[in-house]
Amino acid sequence: MAKVETKEKKITSKPIKEIPPESAINKKSTKSKKTTQSLEKPFLETIAGIGPTTRKRLEEAGYGSKEAIALATRSQLTEISGIAEKTAALLIREARARFDLGLKKGTDYEVAAKTRVKLTTGSEAFNELLGGGLETGSVTEIAGENGCGKTQIAHQLAVNCVKYFDQDVIWIDSEGTFRFNRIVQMAQALEIDPEVVLSRITVGRAYNSEHQMALTEEALTMVPNVGLIVVDSLMSHFRSEFAGRGTLAERQQLIGRHLSFISKQTEILNCVGLVTNQVSARPDGIFFGDPNRPVGGNVVGHTVTTRLMIRKGKDIKRTATLTKSPELPDGKIEFSITTEGVRDYKK
């Protein structure tokens, strides 16, 4: 019970005029840590035998930091041109020696959980379903049919991230549906300067799956103070590029890599990860429950921490169903999408 109370203090979904104090404190402590880190010499520069060319290649592939290398596998590094087995082993050994790999006590989890905060959705009912909002440190998937409101929710979370976390947003747009005017409308509704919000969102328009993965990695090295990473949508390019059955294994492998990279980064940066996903009719037919399921199979299902399914109702009405969470019961609520953004549904 005490846990619920702590979370509720951090939630502020009603018209709020200021940053919730606890979120602000937590987020500020992340910031100061980053400032200290940036004074250190970059990891790759401290490794004898790694010249500028190799360093550039590693950085371009998203392995510029000791954290990224410590959590990489040897085969991921040897895939990069010019990185031999011996070099990969050396890099991983050095990175792991300087990075706490993570054997922890149960009490450490308690401490880590306290640094996680919730990003409000804009609807109290929706927040309640999520134990307060979307949690930092993991990836939430929002799935549903065309037009159900996935992209709208992402716009709302981007505005909320700037307003309540005072942090930046990375938005990987694979469908060309980021709309600055929706950000303006939602920001105005929360009485925050739209220009400030827009200036804090870095949008990468992804034209294919390779581009999507590269943009995500680049944005994460470029944007210093990330509170939210949006990938809208996760699967559209992968689905159209890897259409045949024969390409399924390769597709799943790439999605797994892409998604686990995002997941790792949300943990390291203690930010919210949000991926939207399409749905397809279940091939096995179904007599009860939802006839649709998110695409991407087990790889996506296992890698995301929290799964939500959105359904469109009449006019502004929507329903959200929580189908996967490591600590919350499944449930279903009603909310609405209005010109102001995501709000409670009022009959």
Question: Which spans of this chain sit near Mg ion (rule: CB under 5 A)?
Answer: 150-151, 177
Nearer residue to ligand GTP within complex by CB, 168 or 232: 232
Q: Is 337 in the site for ligand GTP (CB under 6 A)?
A: yes
Give the separation between CA 26 and CA 16, rounded to whole angstroms: 18
Decide: 160 and 120 in contact? Cβ < 8 Å: yes
State the binding partner of 22 from Mg ion, ligand GTP, none, CB within 5 to 8 A by kind. Answer: none
Q: Is 338 in the site for ligand GTP (CB under 6 A)?
A: yes
Nearer residue to ligand GTP within complex by CB, 28 or 282: 282
Applying CB under 6 A, which part among 61-69, 72-80, 139-147, 216-224 lies near ligand GTP?
Answer: 139-147
Nearer residue to Mg ion within complex by CB, 151 or 209: 151
Site size for ligand GTP (CB under 6 A): 15
Sequence letter at residue 135: E
Residue from 27, 66, 150, 258 in contact with ligand GTP (CB under 6 A): 150
State the binding partner of 338 from ligand GTP, Mg ion, none, CB within 5 to 8 A by kind. Answer: ligand GTP
- Residue window 38-77: x/- pattern of binding to ligand GTP, with contact defined by CB under 6 A: ----------------------------------------
Q: Is 151 in the site for ligand GTP (CB under 6 A)?
A: yes
**Tally of CB atoms within 10 A around 335:** 26
Q: Is 20 in the site for ligand GTP (CB under 6 A)?
A: no
Applying CB under 6 A, which part among 24-32, 220-228, 251-259, 336-344 lies near ligand GTP?
Answer: 336-344
Nearer residue to Mg ion within complex by CB, 150 or 182: 150
Q: How far is the CB of 160 from ligand GTP (least distance, A)?
A: 16
Q: Is 152 in the site for ligand GTP (CB under 6 A)?
A: yes
Residue from 125, 316, 317, 324 in contact with ligand GTP (CB under 6 A): 316
- Quote the longest CA-to-CA distance of the chain: 67
Q: How far is the CB of 92 from ligand GTP (least distance, A)?
A: 39
Nearer residue to ligand GTP within complex by CB, 189 or 214: 189
> Can you give the C-alpha Rg of the chain in angstroms?
20
Q: Name residues contacting ligand GTP, limited to 203-222 (CB under 6 A).
A: none
Q: Is 80 in the site for ligand GTP (CB under 6 A)?
A: no
Give the separation between CA 314 and CA 336, rounded to whole angstroms: 10
Contacts of 337 (CB under 8 A, 6+ apart): 149, 152, 153, 316, 318, 343
Nearest to 135 by CA among 112, 119, 114: 119
Residue from 51, 147, 246, 326 in contact with ligand GTP (CB under 6 A): 147
Residue from 6, 29, 37, 339 in contact with ligand GTP (CB under 6 A): 339
Binding-site ranges for ligand GTP (CB under 6 A): 144, 146-152, 175, 177, 278, 316, 337-339
